[in-house]
């Protein structure tokens, strides 16, 4: 089979689209012919050597995608079944061995491209709004990087649950995108956003979703007493240390968030994914059209992602 590989760490020039051996199925796996693969910054970090990799080169990145079952050692799935997954390694290939515990059956209403576009970011937004903080009708939430992948879904889910949403982003064009996704107000990082947030919500917001990291102390400044900050990323650098005395004096809460703490069983991942699929099928949330590259156009795809010019998901088609 063909696969997108790298044998050394570095920029996009290290990527190679080559022939490799087909996966050898274990008893608890099915073989999937890939139809759409999600490209994420984690793939870039693996290519650069920032993440630990198991095995020997050539390495195959990729963890998210959708396709059709072409071989199965069990009776649960048959050849031709449409499935997707959010966290199966070696996904940047024509064929992927998928453990039964990580298979997400794909409804006919959801395309392969949609599944590869939404699963990682959509499932992250889902747990943030329903577990890390249980969003209630009438609350005001502040979402960092609100025009990004997770931010876009989190905005829509928060609105669906009845919240007022304030977005933060880096440019006027991204602010426009956040407003189209349903944000009630959007402020720019380059402006005095903390005072703007407090002007809009004088007592502070109920919850801040912070994926930037270096803004963590600022996030607490705009959170109301008894409010909450959910910290789930460090795109802007390491956070300041938070003084527990401040948390005690203001009754504020700091919560960490990581998707893999919630996708703890087959049943859990299917339940959460199918909630997303239902919201999409009924037009309760929408997704921007992805940018599509052939898997063989790996260099262009990685460079486009790293340029940060993309406004939606990038997917790869074998």
> Does residue 144 contact residue 210 with C-beta atoms inside 8 Å?
yes
The verdict on residue 214 lying in a domain is yes
Of 232, 256, 280, the one marking the end of a domain is: 256
Is residue 122 very low, low, confident or very high in pLDDT (cuts 50, 70, 90)? very high
The verdict on residue 161 lying in a domain is yes
Q: Provide the CATH number for the domain around residue 149.
A: 3.40.50.720
Whether pTM exceeds 0.85: yes
Query: Are residues 252 and 145 part of one domain?
Result: yes
Per the DSSP assignment, residues forming a β-bridge with 85 are 65
| Unique residue bearing structure tokens 């905005």 | 155
Per the DSSP assignment, residues forming a β-bridge with 223 are 205
Report residue 34 as tokens.
Answer: 């890939």
- Please give the pLDDT value at position 298: 86
| Unique residue bearing structure tokens 């999600």 | 38
Backbone angles phi, psi at 24, to 5 degrees: -100, 120
In 3-state terms, what secondary structure has residue 168? Answer: strand
The verdict on residue 221 lying in a domain is yes
Query: Are residues 147 and 241 part of one domain?
Result: yes
User: Average pLDDT, stretch 40-50?
Assistant: 89
Backbone angles phi, psi at 118, to 5 degrees: -105, -25
Q: Any idea which of 40-54, 150-164, 192-206 has the lowest mean pLDDT?
A: 40-54
Query: How many independent structural domains does the chain possess?
Result: 2
CA 255 to chain CA mean position, Å = 18
The verdict on residue 290 lying in a domain is yes
Cα-Cα-Cα-Cα dihedral sign, residues 69, 72, 75, 78: positive
**Full domain range(s) for residue 10:** 2-118+263-317
Alpha helices, DSSP H only, in the chain?
41-48, 112-127, 149-160, 172-180, 193-200, 216-221, 244-250, 266-281, 298-307
User: Average pLDDT, stretch 97-102?
Assistant: 96
Q: Provide the CATH number for the domain around residue 10.
A: 3.90.180.10
C-alpha–C-alpha distance, residues 194 and 180, integer Å = 22
The verdict on residue 123 lying in a domain is no
308 pLDDT exceeds 80?
A: no
Query: Are residues 286 and 198 part of one domain?
Result: no
Share of the chain above pLDDT 70, in %: 99
Per the DSSP assignment, residues forming a β-bridge with 137 are none
Q: Is the peptide bond before 58 cis (omega within 30 degrees of 0)?
A: yes
Query: Are residues 146 and 62 part of one domain?
Result: no
Query: Are residues 162 and 114 part of one domain?
Result: no
The verdict on residue 12 lying in a domain is yes
Query: Residue 264: is it exposed, middle or buried by C-beta count within 10 angstroms (0-12/13-18/19+)?
Result: exposed
Is residue 152 very low, low, confident or very high in pLDDT (cuts 50, 70, 90)? very high
Nearest-CA neighbor of 317 among 22, 70, 33?
33
The verdict on residue 87 lying in a domain is yes
The verdict on residue 131 lying in a domain is no
In 3-state terms, what secondary structure has residue 200? Answer: helix
Is residue 102 very low, low, confident or very high in pLDDT (cuts 50, 70, 90)? very high
Q: Which residues of 56-71 are buried (b: 16+ CB within 10 A; e: fewer)?
A: eeebbbbbbbbbbbeb
Of 256, 279, 303, the one marking the end of a domain is: 256
Query: Are residues 286 and 192 part of one domain?
Result: no
Ramachandran class of 177: left when φ > 0, alpha when ψ lies in -120 to 50, beta otherwise: alpha
Query: Are residues 268 and 168 part of one domain?
Result: no
Cα-Cα-Cα-Cα dihedral sign, residues 82, 86, 90, 93: positive
DSSP 8-state assignment for residue 93: B
139 pLDDT exceeds 80?
A: yes
Query: Are residues 287 and 202 part of one domain?
Result: no
C-alpha–C-alpha distance, residues 184 and 6, integer Å = 44
Of 256, 279, 308, the one marking the end of a domain is: 256
Report residue 55 as tokens.
Answer: 């095995």
Nearest-CA neighbor of 239 among 219, 216, 256?
216
Query: Are residues 292 and 247 part of one domain?
Result: no
Query: Are residues 307 and 282 part of one domain?
Result: yes
Query: Are residues 252 and 144 part of one domain?
Result: yes
Query: Residue 243: is it exposed, middle or buried by C-beta count within 10 angstroms (0-12/13-18/19+)?
Result: exposed
> Does residue 158 contact residue 184 with C-beta atoms inside 8 Å?
no
Cα-Cα-Cα-Cα dihedral sign, residues 216, 312, 275, 84: negative
């Amino acid at each position: 089979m063909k696969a997108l590989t790298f044998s050394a760490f570095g920029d996009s020039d290290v990527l190679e689209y080559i022939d490799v051996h087909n996966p050898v199925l274990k008893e608890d796996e099915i073989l999937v012919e890939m139809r759409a693969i999600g490209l994420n910054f984690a793939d870039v970090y693996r290519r650069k050597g920032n993440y630990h990799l198991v095995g020997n080169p050539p390495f195959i990145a990729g963890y998210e995608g959708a396709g059709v079952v072409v071989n199965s050692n069990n009776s649960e799935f048959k050849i031709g079944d449409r499935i997707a997954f959010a966290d199966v390694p070696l996904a940047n290939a024509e064929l992927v061995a998928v453990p039964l515990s990580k298979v997400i059956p794909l409804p006919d209403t959801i395309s392969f491209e949609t599944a590869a576009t939404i699963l990682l970011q959509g499932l992250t937004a889902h747990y943030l709004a329903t577990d890390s903080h249980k969003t209630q009708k009438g609350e005001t939430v502040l979402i960092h990087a609100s025009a990004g992948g997770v931010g876009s879904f989190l905005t829509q889910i928060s609105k669906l649950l009845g919240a007022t949403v304030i977005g933060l982003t880096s440019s006027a064009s991204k602010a426009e995108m956040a407003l189209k996704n349903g944000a009630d107000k959007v402020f720019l990082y380059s402006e005095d956003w903390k005072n703007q947030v407090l002007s809009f919500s004088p007592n502070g917001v109920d919850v801040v979703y912070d994926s930037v990291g270096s803004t963590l102390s600022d996030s607490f400044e705009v959170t109301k007493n008894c409010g909450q900050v959910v910290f789930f990323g460090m795109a802007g650098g390491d956070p300041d240390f938070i003084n527990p005395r401040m948390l005690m004096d203001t009754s504020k809460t700091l919560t960490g968030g990581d998707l893999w703490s919630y996708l703890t069983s087959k049943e859990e991942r299917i339940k959460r994914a199918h909630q997303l699929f239902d919201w999409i099928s009924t037009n309760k949330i929408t997704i921007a059209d992805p940018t599509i590259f052939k898997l063989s156009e790996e260099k262009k795809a990685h460079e486009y992602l790293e340029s940060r010019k993309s406004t939606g998901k990038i997917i790869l088609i074998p």
